[in-house]
Amino acid sequence: MTQVEQPPGLLNEWRVWWDYERGRLLGGSPVARINQIRRRSNVLYELIARGLKVQYRESFLGYAWSLLEPTLLVAVYWLIFGRVARFGMPHYPLFIASAIMPWLFFNGTLSQAAGSLRSNAGLVRTVTLPREIYPLASVGEQGAEYLLSLPVVFLVGVLYGQFPSRYIVWLPLAFLVEVLLVVGLGLMLASLNALLRDVSKILRVVLRVMFYLSPVLYPSSRLHGKLALIYQLNPLVGILQLNRAVWYPNMIPAGTLLTQFLVSCVGAILFFVVGWWTFITLERHVLKEL
Amino acid sequence: MPDVINVSNVGINFAVTRRRRLKLQDFVVRKATITAPNTFWALRNVSFSVRQGEAVGLIGRNGSGKSTLLRLIAGVLMPDEGEVWVNGGVGAMLELNAGFNAELTGRDNVYLLGSLHGFSRRQIDAKYNRIVKWAELEGFMNTPLRHYSSGMKSRLGFSVVTRLEEPILLVDEVMAVGDRRFKRKSYRVMEYLLSQGRTVVMVSHNENDLRRFCERGIYLKGGRKVADGPMDDVLEHYRADTDVDDDEEEDKP
């Protein structure tokens, strides 16, 4: 048998490695995993559709809830913080609505993603699928809901005679950075929660605290000094601020906004890397516990 | 024929105690080489390979690691030691009802389960009528699954899962579906699947099934491979072994 002449060197080594990784059924390096997820992306779509269907079909109002729920929340916060506590901001309901949507997306995704491996244990135990699919489906489902509930903000805006500023073109970027952030955190929480049920309980408290530590009900400019510096390390700040700038373009200086958003970007990438790494590292143990 | 499944020196351990503490070590050591005090090895030093088109039956008493081994091949468990290599798509028939959602209709569930097992929407479209007809659930496809009886559910699950076209099939005791009539029907389906020259690894306690479907047997005992060869020989070995065990242990309640 004649051996086919192989080009020597790094390129060939890399090719051999890639052929091996590509042949893997599941697991392996991140590149192999992305390949596996891409190959089964129709499942991701089906799982997202399943989630939305169950949610919309089982309630009488269906899709209307996606609009009603945030509206009612805004109304409650407006009553408490606008009327009773007198957090005087112009068009306070719009002020809340513009930032509470990305917050609800963050909050909803993390709560759901944390339980995603546990609630799909039957599938994880029997179906040959990349496990990342389950937390990713949570992100997809909540992301779809977020986009479907965005009309609320525009409705409130129109109600106050306001129009979105030029910052609206940055909105998709803010969404993408938030997706990256919640994917990382979701992967981390899903694997940790599969091993320790306490994680989802702690998460609930942490999210509550995070809500008040993020500029949803008040502007971030209320804080000064060293505290403000630490405060701005929260990767949500930049994302929420950019969302708010769509309706309040002059409230935050462009330079501050840029800095805050860059912090968000760095934070999102960091959490994505750490979150996925945690997921990969714990996967073997998680599978035994489900 | 080339090998399509290669299991080399595979070992996996589980915690004995209910509460498993998350250790810092889990983050640092990729492959656990040290046996922690509270773990037992469900499988250890198991090696074998399966050629394309071979039908292999796993034999052993309850808790000998048969299902664990099947799960490792399916990729839904990962080994602590050694490596499992599978070349080609795997159709895992491990539990029939696992992918179902009680809130969705029978129809939606067929599409969901089908896609989970690797079908595209179009492929399911083409198979849909046959799936429903085989399960004899024509009038119930718009009913939410929570109104199904358990027999109806497993019939539907079996009907979807047995349409898999993957070259490797993993079967874990799923042949007993429904009443007498359906048992006979599902038997015929299994026979058809196995006659297509696909690679099969199955777990069963039914010696007739094993002899009928598999030419090769692997006998697992306490997580180790003790025999591997023609099915009749391995079954003989297994039977001799269990008879000895029975003599040693008094079966008093």
Using alpha carbons, select from B164, B166, B168 the residue that is nearest to residue B50.
B168
Q: How far apart are CA B123 and CA B136, in angstroms?
A: 20
**Which chain A residues are closer than 8 Å to B90 by Cβ?**
25, 128
**Which chain A residues are closer than 8 Å to B97 by Cβ?**
122
Torsion sign (Cα): A66, A71, A72, A77: positive
CB-CB under 8 Å, B95 with A42: no
Q: What is the pLDDT of residue B197?
A: 81
Residue of B nearest to A286 (CA): B77
- Does the pLDDT at position A1 exceed 50? no
Distance of residue B143 Cα from the nearest chain A Cα, in angstroms: 13
Using alpha carbons, select from A115, A44, A133 the residue that is nearest to residue B76.
A133
CB-CB under 8 Å, A281 with B78: no
CB-CB under 8 Å, B26 with A281: yes
Residues 6+ apart with CB under 8 A from B18: none
Please, are residues B75 and A32 in contact by the beta-carbon 8 Å criterion? no
Please, are residues B94 and B71 in contact by the beta-carbon 8 Å criterion? yes
A222: tokens are 């209320």
Q: Which residues of A191-229 are buried (b: 16+ CB within 10 A; e: fewer)?
A: bbbbbeeebbeebeeebeebbeebbbbbbbeeeeeeeee
Residues 6+ apart with CB under 8 A from A130: A26, A33, A36, A37, A40
Q: How far apart are CA B191 and CA A84, in angstroms?
A: 74
CB-CB under 8 Å, A53 with B116: no
Q: How many CB pairs under 8 A join A and B?
A: 84
Distance of residue B111 Cα from the nearest chain A Cα, in angstroms: 8
Q: How far apart are CA B248 and CA B250, in angstroms?
A: 7
Q: What is the pLDDT of residue B102?
A: 85
In this complex, is the C-beta atom of A20 within 8 Å of any C-beta atom belonging to chain B?
A: no
Q: How far apart are CA A184 and CA B193, in angstroms?
A: 42
Residue of A nearest to B77 (CA): A287
Q: What is the pLDDT of residue B33?
A: 46
Mean pLDDT of A127-136: 93
Summarize pLDDT for A177-188 with one digit per residue, the tens: 999 999 999 999
Summarize pLDDT for A223-239 with one digit per residue, the tens: 777 888 888 899 999 99
Phi, psi dihedral angles at A60 (to 5 degrees): -65, -40
Angle at B235 between CA B74 and CA B252, to 5 degrees: 100
Residue of A nearest to B103 (CA): A54
CB-CB under 8 Å, A126 with B103: no
Give pLDDT < 50 ranges for chain B.
33-34
Angle at A41 between CA A39 and CA A45, to 5 degrees: 160
Q: What is the mean pLDDT of chain A?
A: 89
Residue of B nearest to A23 (CA): B87
Residue of B76, B93, B169 to mutate for A, most A C-beta atoms under 10 A: B76
Using alpha carbons, select from A200, A215, A204, A205 the residue that is nearest to residue A103.
A215
